[in-house]
Amino acid sequence: MDALGTGLILIVNGFLSMLGHLADPITIFGIILAGSLWWLATIEIESLNRASIKPTVRRH
Amino acid sequence: MSVRSVLGRKGLMSPAPHKVSRIVTFEGPRGLSMRSSVYLRHVAYFLIIVLCSAVSDFCFRSVGQYAIGGKLMFAMCVLVMMVAAAGTAFYTNQREEIIEQARHYVFGLMLLPGTALALIMWAAQSMAGTSQEASSDQFMHIMMIGLPMVYFGSVILPPVLFVKMLTGMHNLHRSRLDDEELVAIWTRQDGHQV
């Protein structure tokens, strides 16, 4: 039971410290950068999808 | 019949497995590898930006008043990428061009030259710190003042130019010709036809 309690406290502490780090400006910039790069990657994928060969005959 | 399959059939929702199977059917495994390489390339961009900013931060840490150098570089790269991402939403027909330009600004103008400048400054500073002769040298003195200036110029100016370029994009591509002249050129009725 003690081990469970300690584990829970550790998890909660870790979560809170992670939330604390989220307020760090560098972390916020990192999240924004990751989001922007993900968006740009999605756009490149989309243009690949557009350029790929598609069936011209509609299937029923 | 599940909701997902009904929506997928009506074209309202395209589940990922369906997309993957379509890519494999029409392009083979190469289609998947092309798409995953795009994602990997962008992960590499993220890592390169973080790495170069960290190196610059290390080089500038000991330069009292310019200690913010590395963090500033990171923030400016984020700014360019964020503006590029927003620009692709606003100028949908210029998406490829915007991504190309953002890459050129971040890697060609800011990150690599900035990191090289930071490293040169760090090396010059450590040289001036160890050698008595070098520390009294006039050239070294000027370099220690000039290099951070050049660094900040190369890190701060490109985002400003990029934002300016992006906001003026539709002006750049707008033709200044009047309609008659434009149609004459398009239809090759400009007097130059053979």
Where does the pLDDT of residue B170 fall: very low under 50, low under 70, confident under 90, or very high at 90 and above?
low
Neighbouring residues of B135: CB distance < 8 A, sequence distance ≥ 6: B128, B129
**Nearest residue, CB atoms, B26 vs list A29, A43, A53:** A53
Residue pair B83/B162 in contact by the 8 Å Cβ criterion = yes
Q: Complex ipTM above 0.95?
A: no
Where does the pLDDT of residue B1 fall: very low under 50, low under 70, confident under 90, or very high at 90 and above?
low
Nearest residue to B85 via CA among A50, A22, A25, A44: A44
Give the residue from chain A lying closest to B26, CA to CA.
Answer: A53
Does the pLDDT value for residue B135 go beyond 90?
no
Q: What is the mean pLDDT of residues B186-192?
A: 67
pLDDT digits (tens, 9 = 90+) for B36-88: 999 999 999 999 999 999 999 999 887 777 888 899 999 999 999 999 999 99
Q: Does A30 touch chain B (CB under 8 A)?
A: yes
Question: Which chain B positions have a beta carbon within 8 Å of A43's beta carbon?
Answer: 88, 95, 99
Q: What is the mean pLDDT of residues A42-59?
A: 74
End-to-end CA distance of chain B: 66
Please give the mean pLDDT across all residues of chain B.
Answer: 82
Does the pLDDT value for residue B10 go beyond 60?
no
Q: Cα(B54)–Cα(B177) distance, rounded to whole angstroms? A: 49
